[in-house]
Amino acid sequence: MMRGIRGATTVERNDQKEIREATQELLQIILQENAICTEDLVSAIFTVTPDLNADFPASSARAIGWQLVPLLCSTEIPVPGALPHCIRVLLHVNTNRCQRDIRHIFLRNAVILRKDLIEADSSS
């Protein structure tokens, strides 16, 4: 069966190296926390806030071996007051895990995006 896994992280600056490192960290943690491998990935959609254009998050994924995974990048809707310098991902994965066992990962300043998931994880 296929499931969606969400994740997000932030960077301090619009810098290619920072974007690459933060994206790779996020992706590696998502794979580890959900016990999945690259072969389980169906596709990934990345978004970045309008203040990030120094690199494509998909390039970061390719650099860690995601050559055969269909990847797409887009700009997030510029909602006033939204979290800046944010990289988001939606992974589609083949897994036998039920939805309640999927671990969505929010790092750095992005933890504020889904406080409900962070609180649920800490109470279990």
Domain of 105, CATH number, reads: 3.30.1330.40
**What does the block give as tokens for 31?**
């794979």
Residue 123 confidence (pLDDT)? 47
Q: Closest Cα to residue 117, out of 101, 107, 105? A: 105
SS3 86: strand
> What domain count does the chain have?
1
Residue 25 confidence (pLDDT)? 98
In order along its 124 residues, the chain shows pLDDT tens digits of 999 999 999 999 999 999 999 999 999 999 999 999 999 999 999 999 999 999 999 999 999 999 999 999 999 999 999 999 999 999 999 999 999 999 999 999 999 997 776 555 554 4
Q: Domain range holding 72?
A: 2-123
Q: Closest Cα to residue 24, out of 107, 124, 94, 114? A: 107
